[in-house]
Amino acid sequence: MSECPVCGADVELTSDAVVGELLSCEDCGTELEILNLDPVEIGEAPSAEEDWGQ
């Protein structure tokens, strides 16, 4: 169990979760990415609509 970095809601990870896996917060709908598993770290997934200035 981890926490959504955006709204702080509990985010459930599957037992076979892998780094880089995308999931969405059921509370705020933000697309999240698993950054690390030990310890679990979750961040906002880069949005496809976002312009990264490249």
Nearby residues of 42 by Cβ (< 8 Å), 6 or more positions away: 2, 3, 4, 5, 11, 32, 33, 34, 35
Select the span of 3-11, 13-21, 36-44, 45-53 touching Zn ion (CB under 5 A): 3-11
Give the tokens for residue 26.
């059921």
Q: Decide: 7 and 25 in contact? Cβ < 8 Å.
A: yes
Q: Does 32 bind Zn ion (CB under 5 A)?
A: no
Query: Among residue numbers 11 through 30, which ones bind Zn ion (CB under 5 A)?
Result: 25, 27-28
Q: Does 4 bind Zn ion (CB under 5 A)?
A: yes
Residues forming contacts to Zn ion in the complex (CB under 5 A) are: 4, 6-7, 9, 25, 27-28
